[in-house]
Amino acid sequence: MGQQPNVEIGGAEAPRSVPEPGPARRWRPTRPGVITSPTQVPRGGAFGTPGPDTGYALRIIRSSPLELTTSQEKVIAALMAARSSHKGRAPVREDLDVAVVLAGIGEGLPTAIVERGEQWAAATAHEVSAGRRAVADAGTDLFEFTADEVRRRLRLLGY
C-alpha cells in the first residue's frame, strides 16, 4: 500500500525485521574438549607450538641477496618458522639473520657450525617435513637472541 502524501513517517515508525533464528544466549559447550577461548588451545609436547607456515619465510628468503640451494632454503625456512613460532608472531627479517647463522652460512663461522648446516641441508631430502632435524638440533635456547649474539654464544659454547 502506498503512503499518503500528507503523512510523514520517520525512522522510528518504520517496520523492523526480526532476526531468525534469534541471537545466541550464553552458549556453553556440552561436549568435553571443545575449545572456547584462546587460553584453552593446547601447546607444547605432542601439540607443538602453533605458528604461521613457512610460505612467508620463503618469501623473505627469496627477497634477500643470499644465493642458497633449495636444501639450504628449506632448512632456513624451517628455522625461521620455528623461531617466529617460539616468539608468537610471523617470520621477520631478523629470523632470517639468526637462521643463516644457525645453518652455518656466511663468513667467519666455526667449522663445526658450517658442517652441521651442511648435514642439515643433506638431510632435507629424506625428511617428511624438510628442516625437522635442523629445528630439533638447534633447540630453542638461541631463538631469544639476535644474529650477533648467536654468533658470540656459539663461540662461547666451543663451536
Q: What is the pLDDT of residues 26-74, one digit of tens each?
A: 777 788 888 877 788 777 777 766 666 778 899 999 999 999 999 999 9
Tell me, yes or no, whether 110 lies in a domain. Answer: yes
Tell me, yes or no, whether 42 lies in a domain. Answer: no
CA dist 154 and 110 (Å) reads: 8
Tell me, yes or no, whether 127 lies in a domain. Answer: yes
Q: How many domains are contained in the chain?
A: 1
11-25, 30-44, 133-147: which has the minimum mean pLDDT?
11-25
Tell me, yes or no, whether 6 lies in a domain. Answer: no
- Asked if 145 contacts 98 with a C-beta cutoff of 8 angstroms, the reply is yes
Instruction: Find the mean pLDDT for residues 95-100.
Output: 94
- Asked if 92 contacts 84 with a C-beta cutoff of 8 angstroms, the reply is yes
Tell me, yes or no, whether 25 lies in a domain. Answer: no
Q: Which domain holds residue 120?
A: 49-156
Identify which of 137, 139, 112 has the alpha carbon closest to the alpha carbon of residue 123: 137
Q: What is the pTM of this model?
A: 0.67
Tell me, yes or no, whether 148 lies in a domain. Answer: yes
Tell me, yes or no, whether 17 lies in a domain. Answer: no
Tell me, yes or no, whether 37 lies in a domain. Answer: no
- Quote the pLDDT of residue 1: 61
